[in-house]
Structure 1
Amino acid sequence: MQIIEKTVKKSLAFAAVLGLSTFSAFASDIRVGMVLEPPHLDPTAGAAAAIDEVVYANVFEGLTRIDQNGAVQPSLATSWTISNDGTTYTFNLKQGVSFHDGTSFDADDVLFTFERARAEDSTNAQKGIFAPITSVTAIDPATVEIKIAQPQGDFLFNIGRGDAVIVAPESAEKNQSNPVGTGPFKFVRWDQGSRVILEKNADYTGTPAHMNKATFVFISDPNAAQNAMLAGDVDGFANFPAPESLAIFEADPRYQVVRGSTEGETILSTNNAKAPFDDVRVRKAIAHALDRQAIIDGAMFGYGTPIGTHFAPHHPYYEDLLGTHPRDIEGAKALLAEAGYPEGFKATFKLPPPTYARRGGQIIAAQLREIGIELELINVEWGQWLEDVFKTKNYDLSIVSHVEPFDIGIYANPGYYFQYDNVVFQAIIEKLNVTADEAKREQLARAAQRILAEDAVNGYLFQLAKTGVWNANLEGMWPNSPVEGNDLTAVRWTN
């Protein structure tokens, strides 16, 4: 406590010297800090949440959008009707809309987007969103009909995510480096390794943004993030990477510190297809060795909620499965011996840049060492993680937060990077995807959670907290993250 108090006093003295320089130099501009730099800027062709954190609802729009409360709102579709049997959606499109390059938006762009996402060679990270679709028809330039095989309770939510934003055939292939959407901000420039700059779209047909310019600044180091905030180099972080420094900003009236929730299940990612992790006894041994609260306290300074399976605790379908594999060092050793590893084994542990991974990795390594598992810690940059772990599956263990909402269905894909293959689980998810009745959906979701916990598919650690820090004169920043994104449309300066 004394250390924190001294740090607060020093920081306040430093800030007093800086004076007005800690505030944005331009009342119509905003500079948002981010931990991870996106690998590219096309949300329909990549899994990295950092892509959506820059362009979702800012540059690109979908037929629907998700608001800060997680509710579905109209976007490029102004309204829609659903057939009595729940399988036909008719969308009425906004008219007079243009993409940022001047090409017009109409039903053909919707058709192109959905057919591209559904194609066999699609690189869409959430291709499953489009799997239920049987046809997409442009009835006329302002009307689109989408048919799905069976009723789906979350269809409108799913097409409001970043993976389903509407792109144009004229610009789609260049969106990774030069994103062209219909949103309230236009892409200006990407200084790789540093920042992405957006500017207000003067031709936007919706509610215009308050800011004339938005700059996303990439700062992965927690100390550098703290210094950037105090120096006024950035106006805020939607998710601040240095939880140990929050007291500094809470004690300073020039800043807001907002604690919210995310959809981020933070997991000890495990390569289920690679020995020895293909043995459920080994995975259970690891689960018994984990002390979640120690990881939360050590890596996140107490910010985070323990989880026992891949599901958000704030969701109404959540089932508390923390007791499935309680901490039990002797029990873990016995399971390893039974699996043929009485002396333990060695493995690699690839850690991406976020604080929870780098700091959490050291704590987890110490915990697994207690049962004889020696881990080689390998720090990797985000692009390398996406290539080595997510794409080519060249890893033993890793840590990552899965921030997609209601994403338990990823475990039904044996080709997904942790390569879990369970036909019973797959059947449950297949049924869940076509079930609209809420009571039945909850029953299926809970059954799916129990299977993942029992199989110890991954080490389930904690739900990532959202600790936002931003200038006290800013309003409109989202306190929670129901989807990946930093929607800046309503953000403005009050002074």
Structure 2
Amino acid sequence: MRSKREQRWLSVAAVAAAGAVALTGCGSPSAAVGGAAAGTGSQGSTGEVDTNATMRVGATVATSLDPVAAPEAVRTLMSTWPVYDRLLQVTEDGQYAPMLATEWTFSDNGSTLDLKLREGVTFTDGTPFNGDAVKANIDRYRAATGSASATATAAISSVDVVAPNEVKLRLSRPTTTILNTIAIPIGGAMISPKALGNADLATKPVGTGAYVLESFEPGQKITYKRRSDGNIWDTNAGKPAEVQIGAYAPDASNNAIRTGQLDVAQAGGGTTQLQSEIDSGKVIVRRQPTASTVSGMFLNSTIPALANIKVRQAINTALDRESLVAAFGEGQAARVQPFPSTLPGFYEAGEKSYAYDVDAAKKLLAEAGYPNGLDLGEFLVANNGRMPAQAQAIQAGLAEIGIQIGLRSVDILQLTTEYSKSNAPGMFTYMTSASLDPSAWFTWLYTSPLTLPGGTPEAMKPLLVGVDDSSLSDTERKAKAEAVNKFSVENALYAPLMQGVTGMLITPKVGGTGTGNLPFTPFGVSDLRNVYITK
């Protein structure tokens, strides 16, 4: 039986979910939201592959297919996995694996990373993939001033082509994050050198992947067709003849799965409304328990009230995280730190902080000089999945302690950029960095003006040093990461809510979704290169 407290929050959540339609609009894209349960659920079909099939995917669609124009890596992958391969892959269980690079070795002092490259690979325009192509791509990423790609590749000083199938990355300092850089689209996607100077690269990608672009409606729909030159190097990829990726609002995505208009989609709206179809086997939930996705509130400390630690602590104390998870986070875990439990350095003790307590939150607010409450202004909200409904529920919860906030929906692909340019007091969105490396998370959360407009707190700066030092032991790096997370929790730099994703919705004809077949899953979405349709 639910407690009265949980029933109250669920009631607020129900009203918020109903009202979220107005906030999100019927054209909002779907993304990875929901909860990760134990196990991976059903594994999909094991039938014969239909090589003439079209695989229809519901996912966020980028407005540009050029990785340099992307604000972050996750949603870029959702739009570009058919065409762009990366130097390394991230496995479903959170390990680095070969892709276009087959071997990688750090020098003893960590100053260089040697990569052996896959031979016999060609771009779809016929250009061979080799060391020169790697150098051209990384040099372009490094030169894209102000981009997420430039940030991701900042530790690379230069690229030496040692041989046609070997390159040496020279690093400005020993860092483990470089492996993640070359495993994500904004640092590791390989584009044909002949296409790098094309003015239309944002709409006409040229990669080494199994597909070529057929059509592209920015933000709405992409159609890829299997390349016909016989040069698909990955024998597990390219099984569907065509891949269509379309943007759907969460409810529309669920309805499309139910009616057979989609084959694959993230469970952005949860699975409750599909329970009948799930029970009958018409819809399958493929769980993604290794997802590190964290969501919550970003707080802008350049706003005078939010520069006060007690106000930030009051906000955290006013969040009934467990009830919010029950309402919105199917299978998710409540989270107090903006860092996932799946990575080294997770601050376990910190999760006991900020227990839900309205009276304590009001007391903190009074101690901060706001005994009668305050109006923080308009927060930005990711127009994505259940985020608008979560924001509305939290808006009502904060009002109980006297904090008033407004809400404004923003396209998730533009959200962080707009936040950094506005004077908004905060935003509701994902705190996730597409990385297996704690240091990359910290760079995103604590040093980027896109996420922390007030800048890195002075007392935190020494704690960030050496978290990614490849010359240190795993134990030493883990201890450094935990110290950073401890500082973040104690100073309430963010107001996180939960961690996890519901999973992927598939129809019974979808195959290739067995355990281990969905790379990139630790980042909350999956590279669907191994997925196909059966006869």
The TM tier, using the shorter chain, reads: 0.7 to 0.9
What is the correspondence of 1:207-356 to structure 2 with a 5 Å cutoff?
207=235, 208-220=237-249, 222-261=250-289, 262-300=291-329, 302-320=330-348, 321-346=350-375, 347-356=377-386
* 1:83 partner letter: S
Identity %: 24
Aligned pairs for 1:52-201 (under 5 A) are 52-56=77-81, 58-119=82-143, 121-125=144-148, 127-164=150-187, 165-172=189-196, 174-201=200-227
Distance 1:62 1:409, change over 3 A: same
- Aligned residue among 62, 76, 85 for 1:51: 76
Which residue does 1:432 correspond to in 2? 467
Corresponding residue SS for 1:116 = helix
Q: Say if 2:142 and 2:149, in contact at 8 Å, map to a contact too.
A: no
> Aligned partners of 2:63 and 2:484: how far apart in 1?
32
Q: Equivalent residue of 1:351, what SS?
A: strand
Contact kept, 8 Å, 1:53 with 1:484, in 2: the verdict is no
1:227 counterpart SS class: helix
SS of residue in 2 equivalent to 1:361: helix
1:396 corresponds to: 425
**Residue 415 of structure 1: aligned partner:** 449
Cα gap change, 1:250 to 1:484, in 2 (>3 Å):
closer
**Preserved contact between residue 412 and residue 429 of structure 1 (Cα < 8 Å):** no
Distance in 2 between residues matched to 1:417 and 1:281, nearest whole Å: 20
**Distance in 2 (alpha carbons) for counterparts of 1:195 and 1:104:** 29
Give the Cα separation in 1 of the matches to 2:53 and 2:254. Answer: 23
CA shift for structure 1 position 328: 2.3
Is 1:452 equivalent to 2:492 in the alignment? no
Equivalents in 2 of 1:494, 1:38: separation in Å? Answer: 28
- Deviation of 1:388 after TM superposition, in Å, equals 2.0
The match for 1:30 among 55, 68, 80 is: 55
Alpha-carbon contact 2:416-2:451 (below 8 Å) kept: no
What is the alpha-carbon distance in structure 2 between the residues aligned to residue 157 and residue 470 of structure 1?
A: 29
Moved more, 80-89 or 478-487: 478-487
Inter-partner Cα distance in structure 2 for 1:480 and 1:133: 23
Taking the aligned partners of 1:80 and 1:434, their CA distance within structure 2 comes to: 17
Q: 1:55 to 1:384 in 2, by over 3 A?
A: closer
Equivalent residues of 2:445, 2:451 under 8 A apart: no
Q: Judge conservation of contact 2:384–2:411 (CA < 8 Å) in 1.
A: no
> TM-score when scaled to structure 1?
0.87
Stretches of structure 2 lacking an aligned partner (at least 5 in a row): 2-48
Normalization by structure 2: what TM-score?
0.81
Contact conserved, 1:260 with 1:480, CA < 8 A, in 2?
A: no
SS across alignment from 1:96: coil
Amino acid at match of 1:441: R
Give per-residue Cα distances to partners, 1:356-397, cap 9 Å, x unaligned. 3111011101110011111222223335524422x4144222
> Which residue in the other structure is 2:527 paired with?
487
Deviates more, 1:290-299 or 1:47-56: 47-56
Matched with 2:389 is: 359
Deviation track 1:218-263 (CA, whole Å, cap 9, x = no partner) reads: 101x322222112111012134433332423321212211222322
Once structures 1 and 2 are overlaid, which stretch shifts more, 318-327 or 437-446? 318-327
**Matched-pair contact (CA < 8 Å) for 2:299–2:494:** yes
Map Cα deviations across residues 284-322 of structure 1 (whole Å, 9 max, x no partner).
Answer: 11111111112112223x431111111112334322212
Shift of 1:462: 0.4
CA distance in 2, matches of 1:377, 1:259: 31
Residue 373 (str. 1) matches residue 403 (str. 2): yes
**1:314-372 Cα distance to aligned partner (Å, 9 max, x none):** 33432221222222222222222222222212221222222331110111011100111
